[in-house]
Amino acid sequence: MDMTTHSEEFRKTSHQLELEKMFRTFYAQANDPAYHLPHPYAYYEQEILKAVNRYPDSLTLHKCASLLKEEAFFDKDTDTLVHPHISYFPPIWHIDHFIVIQIVLEGSITTYIAEQELKLKKGNVCIIAPGTRHAVSCFSEANAMKILIRTSSFEKVFFGILRDTDTVLAEFFTRTLYSNNPHPFLFFAGAWDLEMMEILARTIREGRSHRSFHTQMQNSLMNQFFIMLLRNHEKDLVFPEHPQGSQNENLIFLLKYIQEHAASITLPELSQLFNYSERHIQRILRSSTGKSFTEITQSIRMREASRMLRSTDCPVSQIASDLGYGNLGNFRKIFRKTYGMSPADFRKGNSPAAP
């Protein structure tokens, strides 16, 4: 399949093109140098009322509200919606009660979230958490798609993947999207990805088909989409700026290094390697994952210990030593606290011959 940004699935409908033309005219007539910047609904009310009078049933115009709830967008049997962003649409500050994913196919758009300004280019992906005040500015012929996902479906589709892995990054994603976190979005500064676009195109086709099981098929496709996002673009994840203005650009490398060296790395060594004070590293980790350095390394070690007990016949003493525990009794104590049983009992209950 020749998947390009001009593929049928990514083309705007005649109705969407009419809306775009109308808002482009409004923009030209306004002669306002601040028109492209985000404002409350009242700032654009005159233009919006004209549009609503002309297209009273347009789904796009529902986005004029400042607080957007799921029932305004999703049918009872729909979990996922995919549609293009209308260029020249006023960048109204608003809050969605569902997950919003922005993907740029051509050109660029600007997304404003809290006090931050994100420039999204071709191939970039931005995931915005529900309850986040934001606005989108696109005053060009850019082509950008929006994926809207019910919060409950997003938890099932996306976090099902992460919960199964129980990684440090899973903790970060969970806090970023669902806790009282000052970083309510994830930005992947990747390039054009043919695999992801093919999945997105299939998702759009399923949504339009309304065939039996189309919702389940869309959820399955979104599952693939997020797997590809993590597999191909985890390295492209750019973390939001801290409210104080300092961006933890090394956080992704910090977490990965801990994951790869949990059996031997110490906090002083990590501090020296990344040129941060120990206190600052603890603050970064606690803010991003909800765990301390010791809790993170211990979680990684215990997960690896459980894997080795299930899939190898290594003696418990060897496993403890390989994972950096010089004291076998201490290893057994921590393992029992984590899994509620001794390493030997865990192995018996998880061996291939176990009932």
Name the pairing type of β-strands 94-96 and 67-68.
Answer: parallel
Same topology between domain 8-238 and domain 249-355: no
Instruction: List C-alpha distances in Å: 25 to 18, 41, 56, 88, 277.
Output: 11, 18, 19, 9, 55
pLDDT band for position 8 (cuts 50, 70, 90): confident
297: CB partners within 8 A, 6+ apart = 258, 262, 265
CATH topology of domain 8-238: Jelly Rolls (2.60.120)
Please give the residue that has the higher pLDDT: either 172 or 234. Answer: 234
pLDDT band for position 174 (cuts 50, 70, 90): low
State the pLDDT at residue 355: 40
pLDDT digits (tens, 9 = 90+) for 21-35: 999 999 999 999 999
What is the dotted CATH code of the domain comprising 249-355?
1.10.10.60
Contact criterion met (CB below 8 Å) for 161 and 226: yes
State the pLDDT at residue 53: 85
Q: Is the pLDDT of residue 46 over 70?
A: yes
Which helix (H) or strand (E) covers residue 105, if one does?
strand 99-106
pLDDT band for position 245 (cuts 50, 70, 90): very low
Q: What residue type is 148 in one-letter code? A: L
* Whole-number CA gyration radius for the chain: 24
Q: Where are the domains of the chain?
A: 8-238, 249-355
Cα 344 to Cα 323: distance, rounded to the nearest angstrom: 16
State the pLDDT at residue 246: 45
Q: What residue type is 308 in one-letter code? A: M
**In the structure encoding, which two tokens stand for residue 187, read together?**
């930005």
Contact criterion met (CB below 8 Å) for 140 and 108: yes
pLDDT digits (tens, 9 = 90+) for 69-93: 677 778 777 888 898 999 999 999 9
